[in-house]
Amino acid sequence: MNKTVRIALAAFTLAALMTADTLVTMALVKRRENRAASAPAYSTVLDDPMARFRLEREQLRARQEAQLNDIIHADDGDEENAARARGQLLDMLDHARTESNLEGILQSRGFEEALVSVSDTAANVLIRGQTPTLGESAVILDLVMRETGLTGGNVKIIPVK
C-alpha cells in the first residue's frame, strides 16, 4: 500500500475515532444526567472533567493532524520532514485506536465510564466512581500493559468522582 493511501486511511480512521469519541462522551453525559435525578445534573460537557478531557483530547488531535498534514503535503518537497510527519500521524492513530480499544474493554468489564490516554511512554486510566479495588486495579493494569507494552510503573489508574 503506498504512503499516500496509508496516510489517507489513517486520517479517515482518526476522524472516525474522534467522531465516535464525541458521541460516546455526549451519551455518557446524557445518561448520567438522566440517572442522577437527586444529584446536581451536568448540563454541558464542560461541567464534567472526564468529558472535558475527552473533548480537549479530540480537539488537540484534530489540530495535530492538521499540522502534520500541512507538513506532509507542503510544496517545499522536504521528504525527510514529510516522512517524520507521516510517522507521527500513524503513531497518533495507533494511540487513538489503543485508547478506544481499552475504553471499550474496560466498559465491557463493568467500568461504566473509563477514559484512557496513551503515549509512547505512559498510560493514564481514569475510572469514574469508587476507587477500584486491588483486584480491579490488577485487572486494569494487566489489560493496559498487554495492550500498550508499557511496564506497570508507567500506567496510572486514576479514580474520578
> Stretch 93-122: mean pLDDT, rounded?
94
- Dist CA 116 CA 158 (whole Å): 10
Q: What is the pLDDT of residue 115?
A: 95
Torsion, CA 46, CA 48, CA 49, CA 54, rounded to 10: -70
Between 11-20, 41-50, 77-86, 146-155, the lowest mean confidence (pLDDT) is in: 11-20
> Stretch 74-102: mean pLDDT, rounded?
92
Domain ranges of the chain: 3-160
Between 12-21, 58-67, 134-143, the lowest mean confidence (pLDDT) is in: 12-21
Q: What is the pLDDT of residue 130?
A: 82
> Above 50 in pLDDT, residue 41?
no
- Dist CA 123 CA 15 (whole Å): 22
> Above 80 in pLDDT, residue 25?
no
> Above 50 in pLDDT, residue 99?
yes
Q: What is the pLDDT of residue 40?
A: 46
pTM: 0.70
Between 45-59, 113-127, 131-145, the lowest mean confidence (pLDDT) is in: 45-59
What DSSP assignment string belongs to 102-121? HHHHHHHTT-SSEEEEE-SS
- Dist CA 21 CA 24 (whole Å): 5
Q: Which fold has domain 3-160?
A: Helix Hairpins (1.10.287)
- Dist CA 83 CA 43 (whole Å): 44
Q: Are 114 and 127 in contact (CB under 8 A)?
A: yes
